[in-house]
């Protein structure tokens, strides 16, 4: 009986003490947090940084039906608003941003950081330190550079996605774009001698043209990649040049369409199903640094308005050759721009050489950016086109057969 009493007493004591503890310091209800779904970092004035945060407004769906004819500011199912604050550093800006909000800023789910172009040109090292150090931030968040202001990118209300975070990270997943997260950026800063890396470059649709989206031109666009050297943005590649950059960095995804450059306004288009690029560095006996770029890809014929007959082996070989030339041109063009114009190795050639020739690499490392300009390309491109699609011959050719 005595034992039973002690048992009961101890149990009660345990549970009572627990109830006393419920005011735990880090208890945070979902109702008390302002969930950030996108952050933008802009240069405000000379030494000021402007931090903008897109914050999710948790509002129940049934309230929408009540507000019948009222003005609804939201689009889709997600309502967000953008708030921003300026400070001498990111930390101060965040502190000021917090002052304006009744709820605690919650960075745990923020998956995108957009840098304004001016800020990027000034250098993002200080901001990276803050983002990576603060425990609530995500290391795997995607990074972008915006043409113009990041604030404006966040201000876009996406039509297809609930918020900017979804819109941008989904945009990154498409075949025309690429994903770069903070972890990759840091890796490249640490590993490359020039602290060179590339970040997707986006802009607001309105800046491109008003005609692309008839009613709502206000969408963020992928516009190539921006190039960084010593954590400062030095320029950007447009989408065409970026394509060559993707070929070299093995970033070509399935569903990419190659449109061949043909005379007489004819079209041959190939829909890629897969591609693989391998880089093999080589240093010749006379000290030439050569990078062999081997591309193996496969695709289906998507459109063919030319006279080339897919079914004829000879002409098919010609078609393949044309495709290869297209890819080769794209690669050499990009390489020329990287080597001559920007003098920056964002294609990780340095890393390849380091792995294979560590001794030679050590010597060259301090002035890699000059050495990079001398690297020669050796291209081995093979774009296979095994399937013609539903039509074996072009419609014009079929007409000839029936005669």
Partner 1 sequence: MNAIAFDHDQTISPHIEKSRVQMEALLKDCSDAAYLECKLGGQVKGIFCYFNGLTNEERLNEIRFEMSDWDIGNAEKWLESVEQEVTSFSCTRMESFTDMMDQMTLGNSILLVDGFDFGFVFSLSDWRKRAIEDPVAESVIRGPREGFTESLDDNMAMLRRRIRKSSLKMKGMVIGDFTKTRIVIGYIEELAAPELIKEIEERLSAIKVDGILESGNIEEYIEDEPYSPFPQMISTERPDTVAAGLLEGRAVIFTDNTPFALVAPISLFSLLQSPEDYYQRFLISTFIRWLRYLFFLVALLVPSAYVALLTYHQEMIPSALLLSIAKSRESIPFPALVEAFIMETMFEALREAGVRLPKQVGAAVSIVGALVIGQAATSAGLVSSPMVMVVAITGIASFLLPHYSIGISIRLLRFPIMLMAGVLGLLGLLLGVIGIVIHLSGLRSFGVPYLSPIAPMMVGEWKDVVMRPPGWVSRQRPKFTRSGGGFRKGARRKNIGTASNKE
Q: Which parts of this chain interact with partner 1 (CB under 8 A)?
A: 4, 7, 15, 18-19, 21-22, 24, 26-31, 33, 35, 37, 56, 58-62, 78, 106, 108-109, 111, 136, 162, 165-166
By beta-carbon proximity to partner 1, the closer residue of 11 and 259 is 11
CB of 143 to partner 1, least distance (A): 17
By beta-carbon proximity to partner 1, the closer residue of 20 and 284 is 20
CB of 378 to partner 1, least distance (A): 44
By beta-carbon proximity to partner 1, the closer residue of 46 and 61 is 61
By beta-carbon proximity to partner 1, the closer residue of 166 and 194 is 166
Closest to 320 (Cα-Cα) out of 250, 260, 374, 273: 260
DSSP type of residue 78: B
Contact 301, 376 (CB under 8 A): no
CB of 23 to partner 1, least distance (A): 10
| Largest pairwise CA distance in the chain | 108
By beta-carbon proximity to partner 1, the closer residue of 30 and 395 is 30
d(CA 307, CA 364): 51
d(CA 118, CA 283): 39
CB of 239 to partner 1, least distance (A): 28
Tell me how far CA of residue 162 lies from CA of 58, 74, 170, 212, in angstroms.
Answer: 12, 9, 11, 21
Contact 6, 23 (CB under 8 A): no
CB of 108 to partner 1, least distance (A): 4
CB of 398 to partner 1, least distance (A): 49
CB of 174 to partner 1, least distance (A): 19
CB of 7 to partner 1, least distance (A): 6
By beta-carbon proximity to partner 1, the closer residue of 109 and 253 is 109
Q: How big is the CA angle at 81 (ends 45 and 59), to the nearest 5 degrees?
A: 160
Give the side-chain half-sphere CA count within 13 A for 235: 13
Give the list of residues 6+ apart from residue 312 with CB closer than 8 angstroms, or none: none
CB of 243 to partner 1, least distance (A): 31
Q: What is the H or E stretch that residue 200 is in?
A: strand 197-204
d(CA 183, CA 336): 28
By beta-carbon proximity to partner 1, the closer residue of 30 and 396 is 30
Dihedral angle sign, alpha carbons of residues 317, 318, 324, 328: positive
CB of 33 to partner 1, least distance (A): 7
* Residue 228: Cβ-neighbour burial (10 angstroms; 0-12, 13-18, 19+): buried
By beta-carbon proximity to partner 1, the closer residue of 104 and 230 is 104
DSSP helix/strand/coil, 61: coil
d(CA 60, CA 287): 68
DSSP helix/strand/coil, 288: coil
By beta-carbon proximity to partner 1, the closer residue of 173 and 387 is 173
CB of 4 to partner 1, least distance (A): 7
Neighbours of 222 (CB within 10 A): 19
d(CA 379, CA 247): 11
Contact 82, 155 (CB under 8 A): yes
By beta-carbon proximity to partner 1, the closer residue of 23 and 68 is 23
Q: What is the H or E stretch that residue 204 is in?
A: strand 197-204
By beta-carbon proximity to partner 1, the closer residue of 163 and 188 is 163
β-bridge pairing 142-146 and 112-116: parallel
């Amino acid at each position: 009986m005595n034992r039973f009493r002690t048992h009961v007493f101890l149990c009660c004591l345990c549970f009572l003490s627990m109830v006393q503890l419920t005011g735990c310091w880090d208890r945070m209800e979902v109702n008390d947090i302002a969930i950030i779904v996108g952050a933008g970092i802009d240069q405000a004035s000379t030494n000021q940084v402007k931090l903008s945060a897109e914050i999710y407004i948790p509002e129940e769906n049934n309230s929408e039906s009540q507000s019948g004819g009222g003005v609804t500011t939201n689009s889709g199912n997600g309502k967000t608003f953008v708030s921003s604050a300026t400070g001498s550093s990111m930390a101060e800006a965040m502190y000021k941003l917090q002052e304006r909000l009744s709820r605690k800023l919650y960075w745990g789910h923020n998956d995108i950081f957009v840098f304004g172009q001016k800020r990027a040109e000034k250098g993002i090292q200080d901001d990276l330190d803050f983002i990576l150090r603060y425990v609530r931030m995500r290391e795997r968040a995607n990074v972008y550079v915006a043409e113009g202001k990041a604030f404006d990118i966040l201000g876009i209300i996406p039509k297809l996605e609930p918020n900017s975070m979804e819109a941008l990270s989904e945009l990154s997943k498409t075949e025309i774009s690429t994903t770069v997260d903070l972890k990759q950026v840091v890796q490249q800063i640490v590993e490359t001698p020039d602290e060179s890396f590339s970040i997707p470059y986006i802009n607001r649709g309105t800046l491109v043209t008003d005609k692309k989206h008839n009613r709502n031109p206000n969408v963020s666009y992928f516009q190539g990649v921006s190039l960084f050297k010593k954590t400062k943005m030095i320029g950007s590649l447009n989408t065409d040049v970026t394509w060559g950059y993707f070929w070299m960095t093995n970033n070509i995804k399935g569903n990419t369409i190659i449109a061949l450059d043909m005379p007489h306004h004819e079209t041959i288009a190939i829909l890629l199903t897969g591609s693989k690029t391998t880089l093999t560095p080589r240093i010749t006996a006379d000290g030439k640094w050569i990078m062999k770029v081997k591309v193996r890809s496969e695709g289906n014929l998507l459109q063919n308005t030319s006279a080339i007959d897919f079914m004829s082996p000879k002409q098919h070989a010609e078609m393949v050759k044309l495709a290869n030339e297209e890819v080769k041109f794209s690669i050499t063009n990009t390489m020329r721009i990287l080597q001559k114009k920007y003098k920056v190795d964002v294609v990780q050639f340095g890393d390849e050489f380091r792995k294979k020739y560590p001794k030679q690499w050590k010597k060259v490392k301090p002035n890699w950016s000059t050495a990079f300009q001398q690297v020669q390309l050796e291209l081995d491109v093979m774009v296979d086109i095994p399937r013609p699609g539903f039509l074996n011959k072009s419609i014009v050719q079929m007409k000839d057969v029936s005669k």
